[in-house]
Chains A and B, each alone.
Chain A
Amino acid sequence: MAGVTLPSATTEPACRPPAARASRVLAGSAAAGAALILLTAGALAQSPAASDTTRSASLPPAVTPATPTGAPAPRPASGLVASDVPNDAGRAIQLDWKASPDDVAGRHVLSQYVVERAENPGGPWTTVDSAAAGTTTKVDQNARRGVLYFYRITAAGPGGRTPALSITGPVSAQSQWFNSTRWSVLLLTIVFFGGVLWFIASAQAGRKPFVRRIPGISAIEEAIGRATEMGRSVLYVPGVQDIDDIQTVQGLVILENVARLTAKYETPITVPVAYPIPFTIAEEMVKAGHLHAGHPEAYDPNSVRFVSPEQFAYVAAVTGIMLRDRPAAHIFMGSFYAESLLLAETGFITGAIQVAGTANVAQLPFLVVACDYTLIGEELYAASAYLSGEAKLVGSLKGADLMKVIVIVMIVVGCVLETVGIHQLTHWMVTQ
């Protein structure tokens, strides 16, 4: 443990670190004794006010000089404890102190605490941060890794500033190799990844798992078939989010399967895209679909269009395409927000067959109401596996199912344990 806290002014018992932190005190360090002397001397040399308060340490610290405003300076905070913030990259030091007796709501004697830091007990001191009255903790987020720091805290109010009786240190921020609050996530991630990989391997070995029929996915082919019969195009909307939304990734993966079908049937496809990166990927997807279907020459470079990341400009453009070009099938796969109903209702007016899929729960009711078929939540993520029928992809679905069983068991067990007052599982699951 790298954090070091040293109670310096022995006249002030409140300055001692709490028992839980006592292990952080470097009792065996030869530097510690020297630092103890140095830092007390440094604090006294630093400011006359400090010397006043230190002298009066055995008295109630209310003895503070009167100020021009007539209000007394606040009595100092005490018991400053500095410790390394655990589970980080060594950039922060946690500071805790006991409030000044003048830190009382409504008295207006103390307005804030000022946290100061120095690399030597004698200074020079720089202000690290301030904390409003009522606060007794602060994290210095700007510590440099491995550097020894000393801290002091000053109570400030309309009547002046009073440094605490002691300074604390040396303490240094250290980086850790593992965030110990994330064991639960690591374990579940390993189980999940392991499960997915095992089922993929098993599917590749020939044990392809059963996947229930998802009507929405079957409807995609039906919709494309209908567009072909009518001699009209297919409109594909891969959501309205950027590539950092995994739903967009999934929408683009499904697009490749859809583009294969449209290329096979020689049906034109229009793909309006809201963001530039998904746009470039969508172009690749449609090209790939044509290539796989054996019709690379049928690829129209204008079929994939960048529209606008502006939500409603995008809606205006897509509804315009619906009303002018009258595609016979609308496929919405990805992340949708307020535009879901605007798109789906306009699509309904045109009489197109509509298939939607999203994991945005708030938009599901709109899509369910206005579309012929809707993929709900995880069905969207299953779509590419279902459409391609690839053993590897289908195997990964089974892995997700295994994890779902584990989550359900953990929810039930967790509820039971919490009900009977056992909180260990909950605490283990909480990450920081």
Chain B
Amino acid sequence: MRWLENLDRRWIFLAVGVLVLIPLLRPLALPLYVSPPTQGFVNAMDQIPDGSTVLMSCDYDPGAKPELVPMTRTAIRQLWSKHCKVVVTVLWNGGPGLVDQVLREEGRAAHKTYGVDWINLGYKSGNEAVMVLMGQSIPNTFPRDNSGGVTTSYPIMHGVRDYSSFPLLVSISAGYPGTKEYVQQVQGRFHIKMVSGCTAVSAPEYYPYLQSGQLEGLLGGMAGAAEYELARHEKGAATQGMDAQSLAHMFIALCIVLGNVVLWQRRRRGA
């Protein structure tokens, strides 16, 4: 076991790469389970009245694509299945292009019309200041949409004024600005119902908000997205990725154990 002590980290990298790749090529179909935070997300989405207009803030960029795009797709499909209209904003400057591409693909598949069933208001710099300004007026905060069109000229925006125009805020967030800031600046101030989908690494940070009821549901990373797909009886990219993630988690657990084997070995020799 001495080789472990001087193990080149590139072997670990190779092992992670292989373990992630294999299940992507040959799925293992491990069983999934819908956790209470995911169920809360699904229920909150189910409870909004059919046909209402929902605000979805997609605050991420391509770095978080594998974790957040699958849940964005499932969420928008669930909203459209209820004939809801979706107003999308992006507070990350690297995000509007990716979000637009995803929404257009989903829109084409569901035969939804831009400007009527959904709109991408695009990016606005200013982080929390933008969130607060949206509480005063969304058309004033986003006078033009992502494609440069006048926001108020779209039918979907006719009933949209501020947060009170929406029964639910869906925050899909990769960090700052994102869910935490929406809870602090918007949920706390304007008392809008809110659910969140976030990267796995930030999920623990949002658990207190879930417990306090400020968030009605939470999807944590790809696991949350896969659970959401299961709850919606869909099999999307997140479900496909979960086998790979399972093996990667197992491998990291193994790394912790092996790292400690090295420590014990050293101690025994030293003793």
Please give the residue numbers on chain A whose beta carbons come within 8 Å of chain B beta carbons, in ascending order. Answer: 111-112, 129-130, 132-135, 138-139, 141-142, 241-242, 244-245, 309-312, 335, 337-338, 360-363, 431-432
B104 within 8 A of A: no
A345 to chain B: closest residue by CB: B9
Please give the residue numbers on chain B whose beta carbons come within 8 Å of chain A beta carbons, in ascending order. Answer: 49-52, 61, 63, 93-94, 127-129, 159, 161-162, 164-165, 167, 174-176, 188, 191, 199, 201-202, 204-205
Check B161–A241 contact: CB distance below 8 A: no
Output the least CB separation between A188 and chain B (Å): 16
Given A129-B161, A135-B49, A135-B167, 19 more pairs with CB closer than 8 A: A129-B165, A130-B159, A132-B49, A132-B52, A133-B49, A133-B51, A141-B161, A142-B161, A244-B129, A309-B93, A310-B93, A310-B94, A337-B175, A337-B202, A338-B199, A338-B201, A360-B205, A362-B204, A431-B188
* Bound Cα distance from A245 to B128, whole angstroms: 10
9 A-B pairs closest in CB distance: A132-B49, A337-B175, A132-B52, A362-B205, A134-B49, A139-B164, A312-B63, A362-B202, A141-B162
Q: Which residues of B contact A310 (CB under 8 A)?
A: 61, 93-94
Partner of A362 from B51, B165, B191, B201 at Cβ < 8 Å: B201
* Bound Cα distance from A363 to B202, whole angstroms: 8
Take A111-B51, A362-B205, A432-B191 as given contacts and tell me if A245 and B159 are in contact as well, using a CB distance cutoff of 8 Å: no
Q: Is the interface of A mostly helix, strand, loop or mixed?
A: loop
Output the least CB separation between B124 and chain A (Å): 14
B47 to chain A: closest residue by CB: A134
Partner of B175 from A111, A130, A138, A338 at Cβ < 8 Å: A338
* Bound Cα distance from A244 to B49, whole angstroms: 37
B203 to chain A: closest residue by CB: A362
Check B191–A132 contact: CB distance below 8 A: no
Q: Which residues of B contact A132 (CB under 8 A)?
A: 49-52, 167
Take A362-B202, A362-B205 as given contacts and tell me if A311 and B61 are in contact as well, using a CB distance cutoff of 8 Å: yes
* Bound Cα distance from A327 to B205, whole angstroms: 32
B188 to chain A: closest residue by CB: A431
Q: Which residues of A contact B201 (CB under 8 A)?
A: 337-338, 362-363
Q: Which residues of A contact B50 (CB under 8 A)?
A: 132-133
Q: Which residues of B contact A112 (CB under 8 A)?
A: 51
* Bound Cα distance from A147 to B84, whole angstroms: 34
Output the least CB separation between B67 and chain A (Å): 10
* Bound Cα distance from A420 to B70, whole angstroms: 45
* Bound Cα distance from A244 to B50, whole angstroms: 38
Q: Which residues of B contact A311 (CB under 8 A)?
A: 61, 63, 94, 175
Output the least CB separation between A297 and chain B (Å): 37
Check A141–B61 contact: CB distance below 8 A: no
* Bound Cα distance from A431 to B187, whole angstroms: 11
B129 to chain A: closest residue by CB: A244
Output the least CB separation between A233 and chain B (Å): 25
Q: Which residues of B contact A138 (CB under 8 A)?
A: 164
* Bound Cα distance from A141 to B139, whole angstroms: 13
* Bound Cα distance from A361 to B63, whole angstroms: 21
* Bound Cα distance from A310 to B92, whole angstroms: 9
* Bound Cα distance from A310 to B175, whole angstroms: 13
* Bound Cα distance from A100 to B137, whole angstroms: 30
Check B175–A242 contact: CB distance below 8 A: no
B64 to chain A: closest residue by CB: A338
* Bound Cα distance from A135 to B165, whole angstroms: 12
B160 to chain A: closest residue by CB: A129
Q: Which residues of B contact A133 (CB under 8 A)?
A: 49-51
